[in-house]
Amino acid sequence: MAFESKIRPIYWENGISKMLDQTIIPYEYKYVDITSGQQMFDAIRNMIVRGAPAIGIAGAQGIVLYAQEGVNNFSNIDKFKNWLMEKTDYMATSRPTAVNLMWACEEQKKIIKNSTSNIEGLIKELTEKAIEIEKDDIERCKKIGDYGAEVVPKGATILTHCNAGALATGGYGTALGVVRSAYAKDNTIKVFADETRPRQQGARLTTFELVMDKIPVTLITDGMCSYFMNKGMIDMVVVGADRIAANGDTANKIGTYTVAIAAKYHNIPFYIAAPLSTIDISIKSGKEIPIEERSHEEVTHINGKRICAEGVNIINPGFDVTPHELIAGIITEKGILRPDYNKSIVDVFKG
Ligand code: MRU
């Protein structure tokens, strides 16, 4: 059963992308118009839109924007296709870790390669695909939510890290999709949200959408999770994912690995919730997942104000990899995958 969210982080309207600016939530709730391919690339890189499935949707729309721009410069379909293929490869590099972006760009590349239409027809096909990816994502998340709700104990307190909610997807959420579906069945469940330094997706975004949906949420800082686990106040952990290797190793927002270790120590089940488009079966383990390195200013500053001494060294990886042995299950739109992931992941792709 679905507990709808009103939030739509990105949608296609009248030939442009309408994008909710996630850098200013919760201070402002404002949509921006994304009208060119380069503007979409920058919006993904600068995290106006963020979250693995949402940047997949954005990438697919970005290819349509490029195609619309190119229409006046080409009369030859093959030259147009070659140029668009290059732009699609470029769009796929806007962020490196979330594989949904590369997946969505590959989907558009298949259309570019296989289409027998003229330029106008190809643009129409690419537009339809971008809209389909967005709509499908909402449906996939609802299925993830419903499968996940089955493993949420009655009255549970669920800890989550970062934002894997409506804001990070087409509009329902993966980890928060599980929360939404569980809450629809049992309104005594509660959420603990990690703040998620440095960009505070937990504090700014997860609490925003849960408060909007009137789902009880308690904000904690990143170092507090073991304390509350030790007190018996957390019953399960559910987080999203940016890329899952064939053996189940999972990249998600930096700090996720720490939460998973704490959960294992306290015997608390730690789940990943993600669509199959987040699984990268081309890589054997998490060692092969590229980890995004972001600007030092994200660490040295909060709200534009420097919080540390000048001259300090900074390292700022955006993601970490949780080893598969810490993961109780991967909740997908096709059901919950369990260890041995090498087998369950291969099986789910076989259909
Ligand atoms: O850097 P972000 O905000 O894009 O990172 C987002 C996350 O790590 C999410 O947990 C992940 O993308 C899953 S979103 C359903």
Whether residue 151 sits in one domain with residue 52: no
Angstrom distances, CA of residue 11 to CA of 14, 154, 186: 10, 35, 31
User: Which residues have a Cβ under 8 Å from the Cβ of 155 and sit 6 or more positions away?
Assistant: 186, 188, 189
Residue of 129, 185, 127 whose CA lies nearest to 154: 185
In a domain, 3, yes or no: no
Residue 253: which CATH number?
3.40.50.10470
Please give the distance, rounded to the nearest whole angstrom, from the Cα atom of residue 5 to the centre of ligand 1.
18
Pocket of ligand 1 (CB under 6 A): 50-53, 98, 162, 164, 168-169, 174, 201, 240-242, 252-253, 318
Same domain, 97 and 160: no
How far, in Å, CA of 181 to CA of 149, rounded? 6
- 197 and 299 housed in the same domain: yes
Based on the fold, state whether residues 170 and 273 are members of the same structural domain. Answer: yes
302/351 Cα distance (integer angstroms) = 46
Residues 15 and 135 in one domain: yes
Q: Please identify, among 120, 141, 162, the residue that sits at the C-terminal boundary of a domain.
A: 141
Pair 283, 303 in one domain: yes
Q: What is the pLDDT of residue 5?
A: 80
Query: Is residue 23 one of the residues assigned to a domain?
Result: yes
Domain co-membership, 136 together with 19: yes
Which residues are within 8 A (CB) of 114 and not within 5 positions of it... i.e. 6 or more apart?
A: none
For residue 99, how far is its CA from the centre of ligand 1 (angstroms)? 11
What pLDDT was estimated at residue 3? 65
Range(s) of the domain holding residue 72: 10-141
183 and 310 both lie in a single domain: yes
pLDDT of residue 94: 98
pLDDT for the residue numbered 4: 73
Give domain status of residue 2, yes or no: no
Last residue of a domain, one of 100, 126, 141: 141
Q: Please give the pLDDT value at position 1.
A: 47
- Same domain for 126 and 269, yes or no, is no
User: What would the 3-class secondary structure string for 67-103 be?
Assistant: HHHHCCCCCCHHHHHHHHHHHHHHHCCCCCCCHHHHH
Answer whether residue 66 is part of any domain.
yes
- For helices 99-114 and 52-70, the axis angle rounded to 10 degrees is 30
Q: Which atom of ligand 1 is nearest to the CA of 274?
A: 15
User: What SS3 class is residue 209?
Assistant: helix
Q: What pLDDT does residue 351 have?
A: 79
Q: What residues in the chain have per-residue pLDDT under 50?
A: 1
Q: Which atom of ligand 1 is nearest to the CA of 174?
A: 15
Residue 1 lies in a domain: no
Out of 116, 141, 166, pick the residue that ends a domain: 141
Q: Are the beta carbons of 289 and 271 closer than 8 angstroms?
A: no
Q: Give the residue whose CA is nearest to atom 15 of ligand 1.
A: 164
d(CA 50, ligand 1 centre) in Å: 6
The two tokens of residue 31 are: 């949509």
Task: Give the CATH number of the domain where residue 89 resides.
Answer: 1.20.120.420
| DSSP-assigned letter for residue 343 | H
pLDDT digits (tens, 9 = 90+) for 250-260: 999 999 999 99
279 & 318 share domain: yes
Same domain, 162 and 278: yes
> What is the token pair recorded at 118?
């003229």
Q: How many C-beta atoms lie closer than 10 Å to residue 302's C-beta? A: 13
Residue nearest to atom 10 of ligand 1 (CA): 240
173 is a domain residue: yes
